[in-house]
Structure 1
Amino acid sequence: MLEELGVNPEHNFTFARLMKSILEYNPDFELLGPGSPFVSQNELELLGALSSFSRKKSRMQGEVASAQLPGAMATLFGACGMALRIGGVIMKSRPIPASTSLPDMEVRARSLHHHPRLRPAKVVDVIEVSPRLRRIVVTGVSLFDFPEGRPGHWVKLFLEASNNGVPVGRAYSILEWDAESRRMTFDMALHCGGPMSQWAANARIGDRLSICGPRGGLVENNTRSWLLLAGDESALAAIQAIMAQSTPEKELHVFIEVSRESEIIEIPARPNSVIQWLLRDSENPETSSTMYEAIRCSPLPNQSGGAWVAGESGVVKKIRQHLLRERGFNAEDVQAAGFWKKGEVDFKDLAVG
């Protein structure tokens, strides 16, 4: 509705944040319907009268006007008003008499949480973790209600610039999510070609992008005493996130494949974890199966465990088959997904979630 009225989509989450705060401050407030003091669905008149909604509602109920709203509320009102002025929306209040009914009007409440559309964000920090890995931190008002999700979950990032009118977007796992400061961190592997890789290599503070998600992440159907984590550079952020959120008692066996020794990074120490860094065959990168061979030859625990594997689609399939056929893993305890596939752009694997 906001977009149809010409409001910049970047300001939609300011409105959502405002409504969330209103409902927390006054749970009885009604946005639409016969009991609401405003008609707002078509003309969006609600925001034009927000600064006085509490006073008007109190008068309709025969109550004494409440004290001035908290400063944070006033700030939100001002932010929404600015968004509407930028969008060119003309606002005015139109109270409805208590006896008035609205015939033939069906109102369906829709949650403001977990908005499926794009969330605008901007880059606030860029760190060179290794020659081929960039740690990029973003934040934005639109992330105010971003769900915690599962460890290792991912989002799709879209560049502000477009390619022939088509938005450029790729999926990236979330390394860290700080809900209090609304800061989201990604580790982006750089490779030859690709618009997102080029952007990450040259990212600067202040760059803008949009976020859609989250999805996926580690699903543990059964609580197992140990967990196998395996992946290449594309899965490095997810592996670190899963390790950080695993209980100290759980035994972790981690295999990480990189192209060269300079790509080995420091991962915070964790009890009951064994990390093996694997160097990909640089002479035959297209046919290398370093990670598969390392797992196949590794003396993993005999008791039933869980597994999370991600990376190149063909390698991931071989590892999954090995775990099921030769290691005796239960199918429901093996989560394996191709994050990318040789020869394909923006590869999509349904197993990713």
Structure 2
Amino acid sequence: MAELPVTFIQVTDITRITPRMARVTFEADHLDDSVGRSPDQQLKLCFPRAGQRLPVLPEQNDDAASWYQAFLAIPEDERPWMRSFTLRRRVPGTRTVEIDFVLHGDTGPATGWAGSARPGDRLGMVGPSAVYARPVSLTDSIAAADWLLLAGDETALPAIGTLLEALPKEARALVYIEVADHTEQQSFETAGDVTVHWLYRDGTPPGRSEVLPDAVRGAEFPPGRPFAWLAGEAGAVRALRRHLVNDRGLDKGSIDFSGYWRFKLTQDDAPTSEDMAEAQERLAEFQAAADDHS
């Protein structure tokens, strides 16, 4: 099992980039050189419990599985809340990282923390690591396709930003992004030939809108072989993937998909039967990809 980097990070700046998204800048106690060198790097943030200045974390060791077992052994009332994020940017040559937080107005530990965060506040950061990475480079998969399809909601915006900014000149991408309304639009720098479609829920609650699946179903795709990247609410991601496989004829190996969140459920809730089936399928695909490139 690959090593799982663990460090503490401290807030140095907070910027509200849209009404519902905050970009928090952190200084890490230590940071591997590989962090920030590729797009869509996944990590975990650990939030302290009430009354704690720092989250309680096991010391880093050389085995991810044993570290996580030690994490689970922390008494529940002391164990940090752990949530998944995408690294938005690492400032080159520094230990400074930027992570975007969706402010969705509920009392969850991540959005609650981000709504009141101040410079000097500290969190734990686990990863980025090969533990969370695809067995085949995402960059290589994109480069092997004729064009790229990106589709997701606002929780996918940090990853979409890194993917677009990593596109080489003349690479083609078709992008569909669901957000609350027009005030949530962002701009991205890219060398690629990119068409972005912003889709608005306009009052429909997140997780209940069909605007993203409907837009992709009705889209006219460019010619050639695409690579699809899908992320956001798990039900919408599953619907998009079924459409691409069953109606568009895409090979499952040409689709990278992640259910970042689940309607009315948190990461602390038990997985549903659909979650378990999806996890088993992802595991089988990852193993097949690893075998093909071993």
Deviation at 1:266, TM superposition (A): 2.4
Deviation at 1:115, TM superposition (A): 4.8
Against the structure 1 CA distance between its residues 284 and 339, is the aligned structure 2 distance closer, same or farther, given a 3 Å change threshold?
A: closer
Against the structure 1 CA distance between its residues 286 and 209, is the aligned structure 2 distance closer, same or farther, given a 3 Å change threshold?
A: closer
Deviation at 1:321, TM superposition (A): 0.8
Against the structure 1 CA distance between its residues 247 and 271, is the aligned structure 2 distance closer, same or farther, given a 3 Å change threshold?
A: closer
CA contact (8 A) 1:152 1:216 kept: no
**CA–CA separation in structure 2 for the residues paired with 1:280 and 1:178:** 33
Post-superposition CA distance 1:27-71 (Å, at most 9, x none): xxxxxxxxxxxxxxxxxxxxxxxxxxxxxxxxxxxxxxxxxxxxx
1:212 counterpart residue number: 126
The equivalences for 1:169-188 within 5 A come to 169-188=82-101
Q: Which has the larger radius of gyration?
A: 1
**CA–CA separation in structure 2 for the residues paired with 1:285 and 1:156:** 23
Unaligned runs of 5+ in 2: 56-75, 287-294
- 1:195 correspondence with 2:109: yes
Amino acid at match of 2:182: E
Against the structure 1 CA distance between its residues 239 and 285, is the aligned structure 2 distance closer, same or farther, given a 3 Å change threshold?
A: closer
Post-superposition CA distance 1:224-273 (Å, at most 9, x none): 12100111111100000011112122101111100122111222354400
**CA–CA separation in structure 2 for the residues paired with 1:281 and 1:330:** 34
- 1:245 correspondence with 2:166: yes
Deviation at 1:158, TM superposition (A): 0.7
For residue 305 of structure 1, the aligned residue among 193, 207, 226 is: 226
1:62 counterpart residue number: none
Deviation at 1:118, TM superposition (A): 2.3
1:324 counterpart residue number: 245
CA contact (8 A) 2:151 2:175 kept: yes
Amino acid at match of 1:152: D
Counting aligned pairs with the same residue, the percent is: 29
SS in 1 for 2:238: helix
Amino acid at match of 1:256: I
**CA–CA separation in structure 2 for the residues paired with 1:247 and 1:283:** 36
For residue 153 of structure 1, the aligned residue among 31, 34, 41 is: 41
The equivalences for 1:87-166 within 5 A come to 115-148=3-36, 150-160=38-48, 161=52, 164-166=77-79
The equivalences for 1:327-342 within 5 A come to 327-342=248-263
SS in 1 for 2:144: coil
- Ranked by relative contact order (alpha carbons within 8 Å, sequence separation 6 or more), the top structure is 2
Q: Which moved more, 1:282-291 or 1:323-332?
A: 282-291
CA contact (8 A) 2:102 2:154 kept: yes
CA contact (8 A) 2:164 2:192 kept: no
Against the structure 1 CA distance between its residues 283 and 151, is the aligned structure 2 distance closer, same or farther, given a 3 Å change threshold?
A: closer
* Cα RMSD for the two superposed structures: 2.3
Q: How many residues align?
A: 240
TM-score (norm 1): 0.63
Amino acid at match of 1:319: L
Post-superposition CA distance 1:95-124 (Å, at most 9, x none): xxxxxxxxxxxxxxxxxxx85252111111
Against the structure 1 CA distance between its residues 307 and 254, is the aligned structure 2 distance closer, same or farther, given a 3 Å change threshold?
A: same
1:265 counterpart residue number: 186
TM-score (norm 2): 0.75
**CA–CA separation in structure 1 for the residues paired with 2:205 and 2:86:** 27
Amino acid at match of 2:169: P
**CA–CA separation in structure 2 for the residues paired with 1:257 and 1:115:** 35
Against the structure 1 CA distance between its residues 230 and 211, is the aligned structure 2 distance closer, same or farther, given a 3 Å change threshold?
A: same
Amino acid at match of 1:206: G
CA contact (8 A) 2:167 2:190 kept: no
SS in 2 for 1:129: strand
SS in 1 for 2:159: helix
The equivalences for 1:23-62 within 5 A come to none
SS in 1 for 2:228: strand
SS in 2 for 1:165: coil
Deviation at 1:287, TM superposition (A): 2.9
